[in-house]
Chains A and B, each alone.
Chain A
């Protein structure tokens, strides 16, 4: 499996990464190599093996449904770049 320049640009866009056009070819080669390795692993017969979703053989512990957090808005917002009326302000996003 091979990624071309357009794939790389699309992946970068989805991940909100700014990349140099000059580096696109290198990324394409390196990421394609990773996918090739995955492809190689795909050829292993895994019939009857339950897919692993976590490397540890443990299960999720559950928390009681209780409110344990208090309002720390002022602390959190003291490090936010912009706030107003208790809201975090971010560059305009439009659907």
Chain B
């Protein structure tokens, strides 16, 4: 039978505030255990939560950016469960009245089509602490530094139909929260975490199959693998006459498998109720207008502008706007060289390939936007050819100086002196008389051979356009 997967994602976006959502403790990553857990975070008796203004501000920015209704009145609720990583015995979250309502995010599919993924809601909540299970004489160690860190949980509609779509959605959301500067997006440190709800159904069937929730998948690669694995597991199960049970599963990246963590019915009865320690959060239209005015140019708008203004292809514009940092880099290069198209080619080409190969972020590029613009300008004014430019770029990446310095020190300047090139052309013809006769006789393919030989003789420094022109002149003389 032919099956279709149905996928919805819950993504926890850690908001980049300085202090926690309900206390004045620091949210900085990597501190000594429990040195950033204050009386509110460790839940000493008598403490009260006070909501962080910036967390509300960031959630509002997000809501407006995905075209969602931002609630004029939202309410915090207690989600009750006993676990030592949240010593209050409950997590403060939002349930019936979240701050962000229905919105949407558009993703690009592999075939270039755009698909709209619904966002059901996004709500504010506090993160839990960390449990360390190893090595404490049979006890569990608790670090509450992370407890109370603000999270925005973004819940999607079950609109995705493949692991690739889920990854595209996750990447788009990741890019968006970084454009908005509400999250640092650091997945290793857990600032952006994903749970996936996955089910399968026979193609054509309307109702959804039973879903399993895969917890805590923290890289784009693992999301794709974990979902694909889970889809296969469910299909195999059904084909063998079994039934999918609703449960929480954990993805094990080492074994590339998901395994059951707990089944839903026994564990989850969270008994939500409005938190009496917190009052309703009220947002008025004036505030919404102010925040709307602060929004930066968003990825989709930027992409459209690149296509309109710079005449870039949808693909190139999409790559360049994939992260705000890359877009900023490109815009600096384009402004300096005055040639957006050539700049786009070199940023998405040589630079992107190098960053990819060395697994370096654009912000850590060893060649700055200004330096790269220097290189591209020399291609534009015909000082060097594209081929030589790659050699110069290598040297720049290895810290051998600016484009002009490298070109100078290595003597890579393009030869544009017609006399010098003509001498080389004559020499190549003299060395290959037979081929030259064949070329004259109409064997056009040999043109490439001659140009290639001249380029080789010049060590790549001759201007190819001039070589072509001179060869033609020789043929016609």
Contacts and interface: CB of A to CB of B under 8 A. Distances in A.
Interface of A: 10, 14, 16, 51, 53-54, 56, 58-69, 71-73, 76-77, 82, 84-95
Interface of B: 17-19, 23-26, 32-39, 42, 44, 50-56, 75, 80, 82-84, 89, 96-97, 131-133, 136, 138-144, 250, 261-262, 269, 271, 274, 276, 278-282
Contacts of A89: 136, 139-142
Contact of B261 (A67, A93, A95): A95
Contacts, number: 126
Pick the most buried of A58, A61, A85: most chain B CB atoms within 10 A of its CB: A85
A64 B276 CA distance: 21
Given A62-B51, A65-B17, A69-B19, 7 more contacts: A51-B96, A67-B18, A67-B19, A73-B37, A86-B32, A95-B261, A95-B262
A92 B138 contact: yes
Given A53-B280, A63-B24, A63-B52, A88 B34 contact: yes
Contacts of B52: 62-63, 65
Chain B at the A interface: SS class: loop
B282 A59 contact: yes
Contacts of B18: 65-67
A53 B75 contact: yes
A85 B32 CA distance: 9
A67 B126 CA distance: 16
B141 A88 contact: yes
For the complex of A and B, 5 pairs with smallest distance between CB atoms: A68-B24, A87-B141, A65-B54, A62-B53, A86-B33
A51 B39 CA distance: 32
A22 to B, nearest CB: 25
Given A92-B133, A92-B140, A14 B269 contact: yes
Contacts of B17: 65
A65 B20 CA distance: 8
Given A53-B280, A59-B282, A63-B51, A86 B83 contact: no
